[in-house]
């Protein structure tokens, strides 16, 4: 069935299709429609919606529910995402899967509640304290908001990590006509084979796709944010600490190739545009205008996976490029990451905008 949906609605629908049954959140523009959809729909299907007293409470309630076996998520924007950072770090350390949607608006501080921005891409990577990688996806239209939400949730439960879906005010509020599938493939964590006596919540036998126990199943597990051993209890032993942190890193390192998702066109061209989210739509428009006027191809790469950063595929795709133009709505965030990834021979310039207005095709065409 074809329907007219906003990005936020598509995300909410995708989340429920992917098995989300718990949502805790706090109203914040431009993410609120996701909470409103969940408040309406979750009680109909045996799920739970709760509006908490703030974003700190929201992320922690999500962690509690997920540790109890209900697939759980929250949605927020800049200020709320900042408040959630400690909780996201906890979810990494305690290995509690969940989905956090950050609909970006202008910042810092209260910033521009009703205007788009892409200035949280580095915060998603480095927002919490401590060493750990993170998985972040970023859709560029309504349909992809649905599919990447599903992928984000499946990834979270496969790896037992918090996953962040970044969107922005335009992608979230824009309506498009889409056709969504009735059903999607859902990752279900493995059933336990071990007895409660033998079971280890953080068993080193597997670091992802592991057998998992939830609260209330008679496994009497101990979940902790302290750096811990396989059984969840705290440790100060250097070798155990290192193993734990390596484990958090390896979960994502080992699965990088599967997580990387890029879309590209005409990568043989001398000049290549690289972008993501709303700015990628401008880049694509600029590409077609350029080709119509100049009668030659312009390369285009769009990152759907922001983190882990797709350095290897980018390097491979840009083998013959002479010049790269990175288009993003911030003061230059991912451009530095791209610069580190690609050959120093390639000229790299940024088209950046951070005044609440989206980048226009003309601004890109002006620098080619």
Partner 1 sequence: MRKEIRIAGTGGQGIIFAAIVLAEAAGIYENKYVTQIQSYGPEARGGASKADIIISDQPIYFPQTQELDILVCLSQQSLDEYVKKLKEKGTLFIDSYYCKNFNKEKIKTYAFPFSLVAKEKLGRELFANIILLGSLARFTKIVSIESLKKAISHRVAPQFLAINEKALMLGYEIDQL
Partner 2 sequence: MKEEIKNYLRLDERFPHILCPGCGIGTIANILIRTFNELNLDKNNICLVSGIGCSSRIPGYIDCDTFHTLHGRAIPCAIGVKLARPYLKVIIIGGDGDILAIGLSHFIHAARRNIDLTVIIVNNYNYGMTGGQVSPTTPKGKFTYTTPYGNLEEEFNIYEISKSAGAIFFARSTTYHVTHLKKVLKKALTKKGFSVVEILSQCPTLYGRLNRLGDAVKMLEEFKNRTIDISLIKEPGEIPSDKIIIGILLDREREEYCEKYERLRKAINEKRD
Q: Does 174 engage in binding with partner 1 (CB under 8 A)?
A: yes
Contacted entry of partner 2, partner 1, none for residue 70, CB cut-off 5 to 8 Å set by kind: partner 2
Nearest to 18 by CA among 162, 181, 169, 159: 181
Q: Using the minimum distance from each CB to partner 2, give the nearer residue, 219 or 307.
A: 219
User: Residue 326 in contact with residue 350, Cβ under 8 Å?
Assistant: yes
Tokens matching residue 298:
């312009």
Site for partner 2 in 169-208 (CB under 8 A): none
Rounded to whole angstroms, the Cα distance separating 134 from 163 reads 7
Contact string 211-250 vs partner 1 (x = CB under 8 A)? ----------------------------------------
- Contacts of 207 by beta carbon, 8 Å cutoff, 6+ apart: 247, 250, 251, 254
Site for partner 2 in 80-109 (CB under 8 A): 86-87, 90
- Pick from 271, 303, 258, 13: nearest CA to 139: 303
When asked if residue 157 is in the footprint of partner 2 (CB under 8 A), the reply is no
Q: What is the nearest approach in angstroms of partner 1 to the Cβ of residue 339?
A: 26
Answer for the pair 274, 303: CB distance below 8 angstroms, yes or no. yes
CA distances from 131 to 238, 294, 295 (A): 15, 47, 48
The H or E element containing residue 106 is strand 98-106
For residue 130, give the 3-state DSSP assignment.
Answer: coil
Paired sense of beta strands 135-137 and 305-307, if any:
antiparallel
For 50, residues 6+ apart whose C-beta sits below 8 A from its C-beta are 23, 24, 61
Name the minimum Å distance from CB 60 to partner 2.
Answer: 4
Nearest partner of 140 among 161, 159, 165, judged by Cα: 165
**Binding-site residue total for partner 2 (CB under 8 A)?**
43
Region of 149-157, 168-176, 182-190, 191-199 interacting with partner 1 (CB under 8 A): 168-176
The span from the first CA to the last CA of the chain, in angstroms, equals 41
> In whole angstroms, what is the distance from residue 1 CA to residue 71 CA?
26
Number of residues that bind partner 1 (CB under 8 A): 20
**Sign of the CA dihedral running 71, 77, 82, 83:** negative
- Is residue 281 part of the contact set for partner 1 (CB under 8 A)? yes
Q: Name the packing angle between helices 7-17 and 32-41 (round to 10°).
A: 40
Name the β-bridge partners of 165. 101, 137
Under the binding rule (CB under 8 A), the answer on residue 4 touching partner 1 is yes
Using an 8 Å Cβ cutoff, are 321 and 269 in contact?
Answer: yes
Q: Which of partner 1, partner 2, none is residue 174 near (CB under 5 to 8 Å by kind)?
A: partner 1
* The token pair that represents 229 in the structure block: 């051993």
With CB under 8 A as the contact rule, the residue among 28, 35, 165, 358 that binds partner 1 is 358
Please list every residue from 47 through 76 that binds partner 2, using CB under 8 A.
48, 50, 52-54, 56-58, 60-70, 72
Q: Under the criterion CB under 8 A, does residue 365 sit at the interface with partner 1? A: no
73 near partner 1, rule: CB under 8 A = no
Pick 134 or 306: Cβ nearer partner 2? 134
Answer yes or no whether residue 361 interacts with partner 1 by CB under 8 A. yes
- The nearest distance, CB 67 to partner 2, in angstroms, is 7
Residue selected from 54, 114, 196, 206 as contacting partner 1 according to rule CB under 8 A: 114
Smallest distance from partner 2 to CB 227, Å: 12
H or E element in which residue 328 lies: strand 323-328
CB of 271 to partner 1, least distance (A): 18
Piece in contact with partner 2 (CB under 8 A), picked from 38-46, 125-133, 204-212, 253-261? 38-46
Q: Which is nearer to partner 1, 200 or 365 (CB)?
A: 365
344 binds partner 2 (CB under 8 A): no
**Binding positions for partner 1, rule: CB under 8 A:** 2-4, 113-114, 170, 173-177, 278, 281-282, 284-285, 288, 358, 360-361
**Binding positions for partner 2, rule: CB under 8 A:** 22, 24, 43-44, 46, 48, 50, 52-54, 56-58, 60-70, 72, 86-87, 90, 214-226, 233-234
């Amino acid at each position: 069935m074809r329907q007219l949906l906003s990005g936020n609605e598509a995300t909410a629908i995708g989340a429920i299709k992917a098995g989300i049954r718990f949502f805790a959140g706090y109203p914040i523009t431009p993410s609120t429609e996701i909470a409103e959809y969940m408040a309406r729909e979750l009680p109909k299907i045996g799920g739970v919606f709760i509006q908490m007293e703030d974003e700190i409470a929201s992320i922690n309630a999500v962690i509690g529910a997920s540790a109890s076996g209900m697939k759980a998520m929250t949605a927020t924007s800049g200020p709320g995402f900042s408040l959630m950072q400690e909780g996201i770090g906890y979810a990494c350390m305690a290995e509690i899967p969940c989905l956090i949607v950050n609909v970006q608006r202008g910042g810092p501080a209260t910033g521009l509640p009703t205007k788009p921005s892409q200035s949280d891409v580095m915060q998603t990577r480095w927002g919490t304290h401590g060493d750990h990688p993170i998985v972040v996806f970023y859709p560029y239209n309504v349909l992809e908001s649905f599919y990447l939400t599903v992928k984000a949730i499946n990834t979270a439960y496969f790896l037992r990590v918090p996953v962040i879906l970044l969107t922005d005010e335009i992608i979230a509020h824009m309506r498009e006509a889409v056709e969504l599938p009735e059903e999607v493939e859902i990752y279900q964590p493995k059933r336990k084979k071990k007895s409660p006596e033998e079971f280890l919540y953080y068993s080193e036998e597997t670091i992802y796709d592991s057998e998992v126990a939830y609260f209330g199943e008679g496994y009497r597990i101990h979940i902790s944010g302290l750096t811990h051993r396989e059984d969840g209890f705290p440790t100060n032993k250097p070798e155990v600490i290192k193993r734990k942190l390596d484990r958090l890193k390896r979960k994502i390192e080992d699965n990088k190739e599967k997580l990387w998702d890029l879309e590209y066109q005409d990568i043989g061209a001398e000049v290549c545009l690289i972008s993501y989210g709303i700015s990628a739509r401008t880049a694509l428009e600029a590409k077609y205008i350029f080709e119509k006027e100049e009668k030659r191809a312009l390369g285009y790469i769009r990152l759907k996976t922001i983190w882990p950063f797709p350095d290897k595929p980018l390097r491979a795709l840009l083998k013959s490029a002479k010049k790269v133009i990175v288009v993003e709505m911030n003061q230059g965030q991912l451009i530095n990451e791209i610069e580190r990834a690609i050959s120093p021979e390639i000229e790299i310039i940024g088209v950046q905008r951070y005044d609440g207005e989206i980048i226009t095709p003309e601004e890109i065409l002006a620098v080619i």
